[in-house]
Amino acid sequence: MHISSPTVRWTVVVALVLAALTTVVSVLLMPDFSGTHADWLTAIAAGPAAATASSHLFTVSQLFVAVGVVGVAAQIYRRAPRLTFLAALLVVLEAFGHAVHGGLSATMVEMAADPANADTYAALLEGVESPTGLLPYMALGLLGAVVGLILLGVALLRAGYGPRWLGVTLIAFVVVEFGLSGISMWATYLSGALFLVAFLAMAALTARGSDGGARRPATASTAAEVGSK
């Protein structure tokens, strides 16, 4: 479905571009969160300016992700309604869960500025990340990102939106980010590049105002081939 309103269309375009940029920059500036909670605070204290920028950019990026993905979903909904709805719903929930985690990251920056009480803050963070704390929101963010973006990639392929590599790129991002990023920093850079390319490509397609990109959805092409035989 073509977004007829220029205001809405360009709002989606800007959201997709900003989602790509703010997400990638926030990850590049993110401190090393391996080790214990005390190690986290030490890593933040070693670069407070970068950690502050990272936490705020990551939080804000979730708004852009939600708006951008809903805008893309509106364009392909008629071609894959159930899949698109579920993908958009999960990504919006992911954005909510990750925004909560972004608030925690900003709080940790303030904790790291008080090294005298680092042990107390570390113990507090362990409680905050418990099932009765923020763990459900963090799990929602993780689940929504993994399943939601995979479904969005499949929906793009099913709807024939843009080139085929677009949907594949989104799926590849999930595999690299959540399956390989803990193995090597190069995987982190690769996942960031995949996310950037996918969201900028969706922004370009939306800006062009095309209805589904340059090819027909798989269901339509299959029906046409059957009808011609």
In the 3-class helix/strand/coil scheme, how is the chain assigned residue by residue?
CCCCCHHHHHHHHHHHHHHHHHHHHHHHHCCCCCCCHHHHHHHHHHCHHHHHHHHHHHHHHHHHHHHHHHHHHHHHCCCCHHHHHHHHHHHHHHHHHHHHHHHHHHHHHHHHCCHHHHHHHHHHHHHHCCCCCCHHHHHHHHHHHHHHHHHHHHHHHHHCCCCHHHHHHHHHHHHHHHHCCCCCHHHHHHHHHHHHHHHHHHHHHHHHCCCCCCCCCHHHHHHHHHHHC
- Given a cut of 90, is residue 223 above it in pLDDT? no
pLDDT digits (tens, 9 = 90+) for 6-59: 999 999 999 999 999 999 999 999 998 888 999 999 999 999 999 999 999 999
Global pTM reads 0.87
pLDDT at 67 over 80: yes
Stretch 64-76: mean pLDDT: 97
Tens digit of each residue's pLDDT (9 = 90 or more) over 203-220:
999 998 855 444 555 544
In this prediction, residue 216 carries a pLDDT of 55
Q: What is the mean pLDDT of residues 105-119?
A: 94
Confidence of residue 154 (pLDDT cuts 50, 70, 90): very high
